[in-house]
Amino acid sequence: MKATKTYLQELTALNAVSSKEDPVIQYMKMHFSEYSNEVTVDRIGNVICHFPSNKEDSKKVMIFGHMDEVGFMIRYIDEKGFIYIERIGGSNINVLPGSRVDIIGEKGTVIGLFGTKAYHFLKPEEKGTLPNQQSLYIDIGVKSKEEAEAMGVKVGCWACYHSDFIERENGWVTNKAMDNRVACTILLQLAEQLSTVSTPFNWDIYLVACVQEEFNIRGVLPAVRKINPDVSIGIDVTPACDTPDLNHYSDVVLDGGPALTFLNYHGKGTLAGVLPDEQLLQAFIQISEVNNVPYQREVAVGVITENAFIVFEEYGVAVANVSIPTRYTHTPIETISLHDLEQTVRLLFNFLTHLDESSHFGKNH
C-alpha cells in the first residue's frame, strides 16, 4: 500500500506528454491490478479499472482523470544545434525563458535549457517583454545540428518540464505534471479503498486513467463508448485564485477542499464546456455537508474538460466535475495541497459507496 504523497511524487516524476503516456499507462495498470482483477488498456492507452456490482443490468458510473501533461515537440534544429519547438498542449510561454526541460531523444533523456538574452545586452525596449513562441530556442550544449542528432535529438522528439518535487511542512507539494497526475493519484487511492469494501456495490464502478486530454480533450471517448456510463465524473485541476495576480477572480483556494464545477468552458467561446447535471451536483453538495468534507464552488472560464463531450454520448450522460485547486497551472511549479487531494478521495468514495438502486441522475424520470 502506497501513501498518497508517494503515488504523487512517483507519478509527477514520469515524463508523458499527449500520445506518449506509456510510462504512466504502465504505472496505472500495475497499481490498479493490485486492487481489481478487471483492468484493461485500450488501443490508444486508456486504462480502465472495473469494480463490478455483480447485479444484472446495474447502472454504471465512470470516474476519470487524464495521464498526459503539457510539453513540446521539436520542430526545427538550426545549423548551430539550437532547437525550436511547437507546444503539445498549453504550456505557459511566459515562464519558458531560462527554464530547464528534459528532451526525450532517441538515445535517452537530454537536458535542455530555454535560452534567454543576456540581461547586460538587453535594449531598453526589450526589458519587461517576453519572446514569442517562434523565437524561443532550447540549448542542449552542442555546436551543430549534427552533434544534436548524434545525441539522438531530432525533429519529432518531444520534451517536458524537468521534474523537481518540493514538499512544504503545511502539506503543499509542487512539481510539474500535477495536472493531472493528482487525478491519477486519486484514482489509485479510490481503487485501494474500494477493494476493501466487503458488501456488493449497487452500481458498476469504472475508474479510468485516460489519454490525450492536453492535446485534444477527447482521448477518453473510446473508453466512454466501451463503458456506456450513466454517470461520468471528471477529476482535473482548476486554478487556485489565492495569489496576488488572481486575487478576487474566484473563491477557489488551496486547503479549501475539492471544487465542484458549476460552469466551465473554453475562454474563446461556450461551444465546449460543462454545465453539470443538477441532481449530481446536489448529491455531491449533500455528501460533502453530511460527511464534513469541505468543498468550494467553481466557475472557471478558460478551463475545458472531457465531460464537455462525454455529456452528449449515446443517449446522454449525467456529468459532473470535481476539481483540485492548483497554483501556477501549466508551469514547472504547479502546486497543490495534499489536504485537498485527500478530501477529494473522501468525497468520491462516499459518493460511490452510497449509490443504491434508486439513485437516479439526469432528466429522464
**pLDDT computed for residue 125 by the predictor:** 86
Burial class from Cβ neighbours inside 10 Å (0-12, 13-18, 19+) for residue 290 reads exposed
Q: Average of pLDDT values for 113-135?
A: 88
**pLDDT computed for residue 280 by the predictor:** 97
C-alpha cell at 230: 450513466
Q: pLDDT at residue 1 above 60?
A: no
Q: Could you tell me the fold of the domain covering 4-69+176-353?
A: Aminopeptidase (3.40.630)
Q: Are 156 and 86 in contact (CB under 8 A)?
A: no
Q: pLDDT at residue 76 above 60?
A: yes
* Per-residue confidence band for 248, with pLDDT thresholds at 50, 70 and 90: confident
Which stretch of DSSP H or E encloses residue 166?
Answer: strand 166-167
Which stretch of DSSP H or E encloses residue 30?
Answer: helix 22-32
**Spans of all domains in the chain:** 4-69+176-353, 71-161
Determine how many CB atoms are found less than 10 A away from the CB of residue 353.
16
**Would you list the DSSP string of 315-342?**
T--EEEEEEEEEBSTTSTTEEEEHHHHH
pLDDT digits (tens, 9 = 90+) for 4-43: 999 999 999 999 999 999 999 999 999 999 999 999 999 9
* Per-residue confidence band for 349, with pLDDT thresholds at 50, 70 and 90: very high
**pLDDT computed for residue 269 by the predictor:** 72
**pLDDT computed for residue 247 by the predictor:** 87
Q: Cα angle vertex 292, ends 290, 298, to 5°?
A: 95
Q: Average of pLDDT values for 51-79?
A: 96
Question: Which residue ranges make up the annotated binding site for Zn(2+)?
Answer: 66, 179, 214, 236, 330
Which stretch of DSSP H or E encloses residue 351?
Answer: helix 338-353
Active site residues: 213
Please choose, from the candidates 242, 315, 309, the residue with its C-alpha nearest in 3D space to the C-alpha of residue 271.
Answer: 309
* Per-residue confidence band for 293, with pLDDT thresholds at 50, 70 and 90: very high
Report the alpha-carbon distance of residue 166 to residue 134 in Å, rounded: 31
CATH number corresponding to 71-161: 2.40.30.40
E strands, 240-356, in order: 259-265, 273-274, 296-301, 318-326, 334-337
* Per-residue confidence band for 159, with pLDDT thresholds at 50, 70 and 90: very high
**pLDDT computed for residue 54 by the predictor:** 79
* Per-residue confidence band for 365, with pLDDT thresholds at 50, 70 and 90: low
Q: Cα angle vertex 95, ends 93, 98, to 5°?
A: 115
pLDDT digits (tens, 9 = 90+) for 199-234: 999 999 999 999 999 999 999 999 999 999 999 999
Which stretch of DSSP H or E encloses residue 102?
Answer: strand 100-105
DSSP 139: E
**pLDDT computed for residue 314 by the predictor:** 87
Of 340 and 135, the one with more pLDDT: 340
Question: Which residue ranges make up the annotated binding site?
Answer: 66, 179, 214, 236, 330
- In which region does residue 149 sit, left (phi positive, over 0), alpha (psi from -120 to 50) or beta (all else)? alpha
Report the alpha-carbon distance of residue 153 to residue 76 in Å, rounded: 11
Q: pLDDT at residue 153 above 90?
A: yes
**pLDDT computed for residue 55 by the predictor:** 85
C-alpha cell at 75: 520542430
Q: Cα angle vertex 100, ends 96, 104, to 5°?
A: 110
Report the alpha-carbon distance of residue 287 to residue 324 in Å, rounded: 17
How far apart, in Å, are the Cα atoms of 79 and each of 84, 143, 144?
12, 8, 5
**Would you list the DSSP string of 3-39?**
-HHHHHHHHHHS--BTT--HHHHHHHHHHHTTT-S-E
